[in-house]
A and B are shown apart, each in its own frame.
Chain A
């Protein structure tokens, strides 16, 4: 178990480093940073001065190491646009996105899990078809469009819910619904598939043959096995939602990390973009590690490693 975990941790650290190298390199592809920082009307001399001031004249590797060293101490540099510390910018924006992502995941699980289980237990029934319908809808609807349709129906026609900003919990309802449709189909399909596999398995046949009650067969014997992959998927989904909320944040005018990234990309604010990519992948890797730990707790077979 510990060897397994240490190995996973090592790979995770390598992944984070690689991602940071990629996002670092990516944003230096775009041209001369010094020129962008110095501004459009800058003279050659001013640009050169900026280059030295920001250390951009050094070798790329040195620049990266410098950035990485500071990043480890929590210093992610300053925004080129507002001159605020990037760490602080991210720290003020992350809670909105985290709330959104977490509530979306929760909603998706609350809908998808029972639906997937019932769809598997009552295969080919109306509930199975309804679940399939929701999955098809969720995986094919463009979420920016769905958001606008929700705004039109609930915000404009029915006037039930607020449509922009993050002032109250009510403001999170429509964005949460929109975002949860992005992960709901997968969780539903995986639960249904895992449950069907479990129900068709010999150990569930054995459970029936032992005369156990349907409740025990379904929930004790089948569901626990079906849930193992769902745990991993949920962690991955949360990471995906954190990075994928940019569209929803933009439509609902939420000041989360997605809209920060969007703004920063548009105005070429590289320290911010780079740090967001880094922080999000770091969170993602943490989440997958967490899901590994949870899986190791609920699946006795993993303890052997």
Chain B
């Protein structure tokens, strides 16, 4: 018998990097893939609307109002989903509507994400009075009826794409703040922060280079949730007439316009509502999926 140590053969442990690990989990995550696909399709529709949409979404054809869909009797390929009460092509309006939806949803999520995460990180990291102030702001925000505030703000500032986006972002920052604050408090107690502090790193360095990367996945998950809610609220405001103004094709407006004819042309209402529903489900699936593959506690 020799005394040479045994070769390590297959007992060696090759630890995958977090990215590799997330990626290999993503390959089996059906929800994540479905969500990503839905969001991708919506993104393509929004960016390439002028080329995808068969006709001009504003072009009225009063001779051809409420035309039937392709699967109904008398339907034609010219108007796959038929036309609305002004003879506009519903399919084209639906595709163009993706633009409003994605811009407002994404814009509101990003702005509120930046505001809310900054507040939450400052409160969580600095503690003391800053934290008390952040908590107070969150409490004030929670106590205000969000939809009514948004409605009054729109009536004051008008229903442009920019103002709607900014007003909606006022509605959603608190969730980011709550989550990042807690996450920051948790990260702050870890040793690498103490190490950075001991080596004389500035506060902004610690906040943005040490803490932020550790809570990014949480922010992305909240971002996806809030984007979904922002899309729903935009549609609701537009539906009530205090959002995006007609004739701009917002999905909420499409539903509102179809309301008069809903009893004999239900598909006009089904289509935009379903579009909102599917997109929001897709965004939520994507967000949940990202959480599952990036957060360690999601890994069973």
Contact = CB atoms under 8 A, between A and B. Distances in A.
Touching chains A and B, CB distance < 8 Å: yes
B136 A236 contact: no
A241 to B, nearest CB: 10
A16 B255 contact: no
A243 B277 contact: no
Given A27-B152, A152-B266, A265-B152, A142 B273 contact: yes
Interface in B114-155: 136, 139-140, 142-149, 151-153, 155
A144 B254 CA distance: 12
B228 interface: yes
A156 B259 CA distance: 13
A11 B255 contact: no
Interface stretch (A73-81, A109-117, A223-231, A277-285): A277-285
A19 interface: yes
Contacts of A261: 148, 151
Contact of A22 (B142, B144, B276, B281): B144
Interface in A208-263: 236, 239-240, 242-244, 246-247, 250, 258, 261-262
Contacts of A19: 140, 143-144
B235 A139 contact: no
B284 interface: yes
Interface of B is mostly: helix
A212 to B, nearest CB: 26
Given A139-B228, A140-B281, A144-B255, A280 B145 contact: yes
B143 A281 contact: yes
A245 B153 CA distance: 18
Given A144-B239, A145-B276, A268-B155, A244 B147 contact: yes
A246 B281 contact: no
Given A136-B284, A139-B284, A266-B155, A148 B144 contact: no
Nearest to A151: B262
B145 A277 contact: yes
Given A145-B276, A280-B148, A247 B240 contact: yes
Contacts of B187: none
Interface of A: 11, 14-16, 18-19, 22-23, 26-27, 29-30, 136, 139-146, 148-149, 152, 156, 236, 239-240, 242-244, 246-247, 250, 258, 261-262, 265-266, 268, 273, 276-277, 280-281, 284-285
24 contacts: A11-B136, A14-B136, A15-B143, A23-B149, A26-B152, A26-B153, A142-B273, A142-B280, A143-B232, A145-B269, A145-B276, A149-B270, A156-B263, A239-B145, A240-B145, A242-B145, A243-B145, A244-B146, A246-B148, A265-B152, A265-B242, A276-B145, A276-B148, A280-B145
